[in-house]
Amino acid sequence: MAELESLGKVIPTDILIIGGGIAGLSAAITAKEISPDIDVLVVDKATSGWSGKANKGGGNIAYVDPEDGADEFMQYHVHKIGCFLEDQELLRAYGEESRGNLERLESWGVHIFRNEDGSPKYVKYTEELPWRLALIDQDVTLNMLKHTKKQGTKFIDKVAIVDLLQDGDRVVGGIGFSVIDGTCYIIKAKATILANGGQNYRLMRRWNSGRGDGIAAAYRAGAQMRNAEFGNFINWIFVDSRDVCQGAEDVLYNAKGQHITKAIRPVIEADLHSKEVVAWYKEMKAGNGPVCANMAENRILNEIVPAFHSDALAVRPIATAFWDRTIGKAMAAATRPGPLQEVIPGFIGEQAPVRVDHQMATTLPGLFAVGDTSWAGSGWQGAVPPPGRMRGSGLGNAVFSGVRGGPAAAEYVSGTARAEVNPAQAEALKERMFAPLKHSAGIQPPELVRAIQDVMSPVGNSIYMRQDRLEDALSKALEIKAKLPELCAKDWQYLSACNEVKSMVTSAEMFFRASMERKESRGWYIREDYPDMDNENWLKWIIIQNKKGEMVISTEDLPIERYPVKP
């Protein structure tokens, strides 16, 4: 048996955090706040502080103000968004804690824009929504990074953690490699926090690098997954640039000049909904395409977004430059003159199913998951994929979950024994991780990335679902899965891509298997063959677990009798 040290660089720590975006940094900071003496190490595949989505997003963070009311928030959310599938206790906690989390962010060096009376400046998409969007600039994670470093947390960048190390069920760290020089890293940790995002199948560009690495690693290690079927988010995108067209859902016209969503969406809602995608699909099937967004009527893009980004509200030079540059280039690529711009539903996924309890502990001892890795797995948002028809909840949840998971991991560390890593296990994982480098010929990762995108993207497979199409899509995903051993990598960048495509296939399989199970429509989740919400049979969570290599599906009743909002 090889000595551990002969396999790679061995680094011991108390807490290993995988991913240095807003959720991972929130966890690192709050772990150190309660236990300043413990060692915290953040490992990122790119660069902590620059990675993740918070520094490329809209700069809004959803919070519930006492004026909105936690009860009203819950009623609205359960009836109109998550459709009774929420963990209502955690939902209430979000309602009660999210405003206070703004103050925590400020104490970490993040600037929250405030009025003279001290209240946060905010925007609402429509007045009726019982939550608000506070404003931050895109330097949020850089400011947090500075604070984290001051606390003594250590960082390793450009290292992709591929698998979790285990002592029995207990997770005792992670193994990965440098994408720069291929060095194998073995991190021994008493507690590990996954904070490396969700799964977007490498489709959505510009702001999303979530490839589901953490989800797949947790799955392989035996952690339970929950709500994997709510991993089918889309954005409307321009055909010309594949960039996002916000607000398209309210102004969609078919080739006959008919407005196709007015009837199902008479007023501006909290956010887009899959029902508009279904309307689009029916038009396309009926031969009424192409469908265009009438940009002259796009209120979200013409009025709400500019108000949101107005200097009069908040001067945010980094976000403004980012939006001007990226959207500016995309709009310049338009080939069609005039206000009618062809749009399509651009699949993103955002699957985030790692199951966690209220303290962000997974079902494996020593493993926690925060941010978009466990967004849906935590259950608080119900039958919706991230960002859950609640703009700003991505950042909001990242902080909400980080400030729970960080201290919980610190507490776990204080009461637990040193992590012991089995060299034979590390050796086997290392061999599997580097296998694609040893193949001189085989399949290049981009080929399988495209294959899995081809299965996930069609609306009939992933948004407007039907049993036969789901079965067909699953069998295609399994054909791709069978090809994974043939992957070859010419270097470490492509080795990382190999690991990513494996994660994508795991996510796809979970999505289709869970979707075949849920025989109803609920919230964002729409089945052509089961069009109605079925509270009699489906107030259930679908649970997925890897049992000796088999993807095992089970269901679990929601404790609805314990929850205040009932159907």
Partner 1 sequence: MGYRPDRTERGEKEKEGKAPMNTININMEECNGCKTCYDVCFVNVFRWNGEDDKPIVAYPEDCVECNKCELNCPVGAIEVIPDYKGIYWPPVV
Residues 344, 473, 488, 510: which binds partner 1 (CB under 8 A)?
344
242 binds partner 1 (CB under 8 A): yes
Which residue stretch of 168-176, 284-292, 419-427, 431-439 sits at the interface with partner 1 (rule: CB under 8 A)?
A: 284-292
Distance CA 402, CA 138 (A): 18
Please report whether residue 282 would count as binding partner 1 according to CB under 8 A. no
Q: Per rule CB under 8 A, is residue 235 in the interface with partner 1?
A: no
Q: Which is nearer to partner 1, 157 or 509 (CB)?
A: 157
Considering beta carbons, is residue 284 or 560 the nearer one to partner 1? 284
Helix (H) or strand (E) holding 375, with range, is none
Residue 257 interacts with partner 1 (CB under 8 A): yes or no: no
Span 19-78, contacts to partner 1 by CB under 8 A: 45-47, 50-52, 55-56
Q: Which stretch binds partner 1 (CB under 8 A): 5-13, 339-347, 387-395, 400-408?
A: 339-347
Q: Which stretch binds partner 1 (CB under 8 A): 123-131, 217-225, 447-455, 504-512?
A: 447-455
Stretch that binds partner 1, among 186-194, 237-245, 371-379, 467-475 (CB under 8 A): 237-245
Residue 266 vs residues 31, 91, 98, 278, 283: alpha-carbon distances, Å: 46, 28, 30, 16, 18
330 lies in the site for partner 1, by CB under 8 A: yes
Q: Which of 204, 217, 203 is nearest to 373 (CA)?
A: 217
Q: Which is nearer to partner 1, 21 or 392 (CB)?
A: 21
Assess 394 for contact with partner 1 (CB under 8 A): no
Pick from 264, 307, 333, 478 the residue near partner 1 by CB under 8 A. 333
321 binds partner 1 (CB under 8 A): yes
Yes or no: say if 133 and 121 are a contact pair by the CB < 8 Å rule. Answer: no
Do residues 113 and 135 lie in contact, with contact meaning Cβ atoms separated by under 8 Å?
Answer: yes
Count how many Cα atoms sit within 13 Å of the Cα of residue 287 in the half-sphere of its side chain: 0
- Least distance in Å: CB of 453 to partner 1? 4
Q: Report d(CA 131, CA 108) in Å as an integer.
A: 23
Identify the residue among 109, 425, 460, 472 touching partner 1 (CB under 8 A): 460
- Going by C-alpha positions, the residue among 433, 465, 428 that lies closest to residue 278 is 465
* 489 counts as binding partner 1 under rule CB under 8 A: no
* Dist. CA 464–CA 475, nearest whole Å: 18
State the Cα–Cα distance between residues 237 and 347, nearest whole angstrom. 9
DSSP 493: H
Provide, rounded to whole angstroms, the least separation between the CB of residue 344 and partner 1: 5
| Distance of alpha carbon 113 from alpha carbon 313, whole angstroms | 9
Could you tell me which of 211, 190, 186 has the C-alpha nearest to residue 201? 211
- Binding to partner 1 by residue 161, rule CB under 8 A? no
CB burial readout 494-531, b (16+ within 10 A) else e: bbbbbbbbbbbbbbbbbbbbbbbbbebbbbbbbbbebe
For 74-102, b where at least 16 C-beta lie within 10 A, e where not — what string?
bebbbeebbbbbbbbebbbbbbebbbebb
Give yes or no for residue 233 binding partner 1 (CB under 8 A): no
371 in contact with partner 1 (CB under 8 A) = no
Per rule CB under 8 A, is residue 259 in the interface with partner 1? Answer: no
Binding flags for partner 1, 88-127, as an x/- string (CB under 8 A): ----------------------------------------
Q: What is the DSSP-derived secondary structure letter of residue 81?
A: T
Which of 178/298 has CB closer to partner 1?
Answer: 178
CA distance 519 to 476: 21
Closest contact distance (angstroms) between CB of 163 and partner 1 is 20
Which residues fall within 8 angstroms of residue 332, CB to CB, at 6 or more apart? none
Closest to partner 1 by CB, 229 vs 342, is 342
Total residue count of the chain as it appears in this document = 567
Give the other-Cβ count within 10 Å of 24's Cβ. Answer: 33
- Do residues 320 and 54 touch, judged by C-beta distance below 8 A? no
Is the backbone of residue 426 left (phi > 0), alpha (psi -120 to 50) or beta? alpha
By CB under 8 A, which span of 84-92, 301-309, 337-345, 509-517 interacts with partner 1? 337-345
342 binds partner 1 (CB under 8 A): yes
- 493 contacts partner 1 (rule: CB under 8 A): yes
Nearer to partner 1, 321 or 552 (CB): 321
Q: Which residue, 294 or 326, has its beta carbon nearer to partner 1?
A: 326
Spatial distance between the Cα atoms of 191 and 360, rounded to a whole number of angstroms: 12
Choice between 54 and 225, CB closer to partner 1: 54
- Residue 243 is encoded by which pair of tokens? 């960039």
For residue 206, the 8-state DSSP code is S
154 binds partner 1 (CB under 8 A): no
Contact 53, 21 (CB under 8 A): yes
CB of 157 to partner 1, least distance (A): 8
| Binders of partner 1 in range 529-548 (CB under 8 A) | none
User: What is the torsional sign of CA 365, 369, 374, 380?
Assistant: positive
Is residue 322 at the binding interface for partner 1, with CB under 8 A as the rule? Answer: yes
450 binds partner 1 (CB under 8 A): yes
Q: Return the residue of 151, 422, 453, 467 that touches partner 1, per CB under 8 A.
A: 453
Containing H/E element for 190?
strand 184-194
Query: Using CB under 8 A, which of 205, 259, 432, 481 touches partner 1?
Result: 205
Q: Residue 306 phi/psi, 5° resolution?
A: -60, -40
Least CB distance to partner 1 at residue 437 (A): 16
Tell me how far, at minimum, the Cβ of 329 lies from partner 1, in Å: 6
**Alpha-carbon distance 164 to 173, whole Å?**
6
Q: Given the rule CB under 8 A, which residues bind partner 1?
A: 45-47, 50-52, 55-56, 157-158, 179-180, 203, 205-207, 209, 239-242, 255, 281, 284-285, 287, 289-291, 318, 321-322, 325-326, 329-330, 333, 342, 344-347, 446, 450, 453-454, 456-460, 493, 496
